[in-house]
């Protein structure tokens, strides 16, 4: 079975920069005559996009191709919202999921304005909500800064030719925009998850009890409530709320407990696979193996909640992946389903969970004494994601690091899901061929943060707290 189908991803997904460029069409939204810094930047931006082969359509041509005074699905609109005449760009797209709108601003970035990462994120989200744009670019004399919905705030040089920043930073965010996961993409099972279920008690306790320790690390302080943000008008409010699938706010990072399950040992190629499940072929060193792909289940913090003060009756959902279908189960006694939304990182979370089981299956065949295998089968595993990074000397002994050289895709993109899955299996192969075992991993997402897989959230938080003073600032640049 191919990886995309296993991970519930439909359609063609551009993964390389040439593929992203081939998939892109950009149009510049009409604006009042511009002068000075903004005019110079837009000229360099257009030239840089053309240099890399990005297709650029004049706005009237984009409308003519789309029909009904709407641009075609997938066309990126670049606008200068402070200078818009007449209708805003939102009037010319069929939906905010079909088209990305980029706002270009002649003003200092939040990096220059604020020290606090929370204040920086609030500024960016506030700007996006006010103008209903999914990507914000701040232009200054020396730098231009790209910001997106998952908290990335990335400065690029504005000296002379800006084509490098366009290629390395902007194009991945135009070709793979942040799209919040929709409940319509899930099989929804309302009130199907019972937080009091004894079989999940240890996992649930780890999620809740680790919270105060995570709070002391300072890694989960970022939370933005939509109720505190200003909308330009009622129409913009409806658009913005609909785009985030009626979430009440956004918080950054996640805590996850992968539920324990019995793992079938992988088969050596040539042995008969049993059962009617899906299978994945792997090569680990010189061994060709067949792994039966089971369903996987995790307990996960819901989108927008405070990660360090969890109420299991409303802040934790159960997520599943079964034969490429995402499943969302909400708590049994939840009074309202309206804000019980899946994490933006759902694809990455379940990709890690599935890869963990596949790794455990290989270990069950080649190293049945592995602690990683034992832990998954008896108590399950833990995942945590925060906006920040570890320096090389802070990596725990025996943990594998991967992803640091990946294209900086945002969370919620199918690209980030695919890279998490592929990267983890490649990291396992490398580690296993060297040591014969696997302990856990650190998955680096450039411009986004760190995903860590280990035995328990409490153990991770205590370890991070011990090294917290040496950690770099928890920023996404």
pLDDT, one tens digit per residue, over 123-180 is: 888 888 888 899 999 999 999 999 998 888 999 999 989 999 999 999 999 999 888 8
Nearest CA-CA partner of 222 in 174, 153, 172? 153
For 311-329, b where at least 16 C-beta lie within 10 A, e where not — what string?
ebebbbbbbbbeebebbbb
3-class secondary-structure state, position 160: coil
Cα separation, 96 vs 103, whole angstroms: 14
Burial degree of 401 (CB within 10 A; 0-12, 13-18, 19+): middle
Q: What CATH number should be reported for the domain whose range is 183-470?
A: 3.40.225
How big is the CA angle at 410 (ends 406 and 412), to the nearest 5 degrees?
Answer: 120
In total, the chain counts a number of residues equal to 477
Cα separation, 35 vs 99, whole angstroms: 28
CATH 3.40.50 fits 3-175, yes or no: yes
Pairing of strands 187-193, 254-258: unpaired
Is 472 a residue whose pLDDT tops 70?
no
Full strand arrangement of the beta sheet holding 25-28: 55-57, 25-28, 75-79, 101-105, 135-139, 143-148, 153-157
Q: Which residue has the higher pLDDT, 224 or 402?
A: 402
Give the global pTM. Answer: 0.92
Residue with tokens 């989108």, as numbered in its chain: 303
Identical topology for domains 3-175 and 183-470: no
φ, ψ of residue 357 to 5 degrees: the values are -70, -40
pLDDT, one tens digit per residue, over 77-131 is: 999 876 555 678 988 998 888 899 999 999 999 888 877 877 888 888 888 888 8
Cα separation, 191 vs 197, whole angstroms: 13
Query: What residue segments make up the domains of the chain, in order of their start?
Result: 3-175, 183-470
């Amino acid at each position: 079975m191919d990886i995309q189908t296993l991970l519930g991803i439909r359609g063609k997904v551009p993964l390389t920069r040439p593929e992203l460029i081939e998939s892109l069409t950009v149009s510049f939204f009409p604006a009042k005559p511009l002068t000075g810094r903004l005019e110079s930047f837009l000229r360099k931006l257009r030239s840089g996009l053309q240099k890399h082969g990005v297709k650029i359509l004049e706005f009237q041509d984009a409308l003519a191709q789309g029909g009904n005074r709407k641009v075609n699905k997938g066309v990126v609109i670049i606008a200068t919202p402070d200078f818009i005449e007449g209708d805003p760009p939102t009037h010319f797209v069929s939906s905010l999921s079909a088209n990305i709108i980029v706002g270009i601003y002649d003003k200092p970035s939040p990096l220059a304005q604020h020290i606090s990462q929370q204040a920086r994120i609030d500024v960016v989200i506030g700007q996006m909500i006010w103008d209903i744009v999914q990507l914000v670019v701040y232009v200054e004399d020396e730098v231009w800064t790209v910001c997106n919905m998952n908290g990335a705030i990335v400065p690029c040089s504005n000296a002379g030719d800006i084509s490098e920043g366009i290629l390395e930073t902007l194009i991945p965010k135009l070709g793979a925009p942040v799209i919040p996961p929709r409940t319509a993409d899930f099989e929804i099972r309302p009130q199907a998850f019972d937080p009091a279920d004894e079989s999940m008690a240890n996992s649930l306790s780890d999620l809740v009890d680790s919270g105060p320790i995570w709070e002391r690390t300072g890694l989960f302080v970022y939370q933005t409530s939509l109720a505190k943000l200003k909308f330009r008008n009622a129409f913009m409010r409806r658009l913005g709320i609909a785009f985030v699938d009626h979430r009440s706010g956004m918080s950054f990072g996640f805590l996850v407990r992968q539920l324990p399950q019995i793992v079938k040992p992988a088969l050596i190629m040539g042995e008969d696979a049993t059962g009617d499940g899906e299978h994945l072929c792997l090569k680990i060193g010189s061994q060709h193996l067949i792994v039966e792909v089971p369903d996987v289940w995790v307990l996960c913090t819901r989108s927008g909640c405070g990660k360090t003060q969890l109420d299991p009756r409303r802040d934790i959902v159960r997520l599943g992946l079964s034969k490429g279908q995402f499943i969302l189960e909400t708590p049994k006694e939840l009074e309202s389903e309206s804000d019980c939304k899946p994490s933006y990182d759902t694809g990455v979370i379940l990709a890690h969970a599935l890869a963990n089981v596949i790794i455990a299956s290989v270990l069950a065949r080649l190293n049945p004494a592995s602690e990683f295998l034992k832990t998954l089968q008896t108590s399950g595993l833990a995942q945590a994601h925060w906006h920040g990074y570890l320096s090389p000397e802070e990596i725990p002994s025996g943990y594998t690091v991967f992803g640091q050289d990946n294209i900086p895709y945002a969370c919620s993109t199918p690209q980030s899901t695919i890279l998490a899955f592929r990267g983890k299996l490649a990291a396992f192969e490398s580690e296993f061929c060297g040591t014969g075992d696997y302990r856990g991993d650190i998955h680096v997402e450039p411009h986004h943060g760190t995903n860590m897989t280990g035995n328990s959230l409490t153990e991770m938080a205590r370890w991070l707290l011990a090294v917290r003073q040496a950690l770099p600032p928890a920023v996404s640049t």
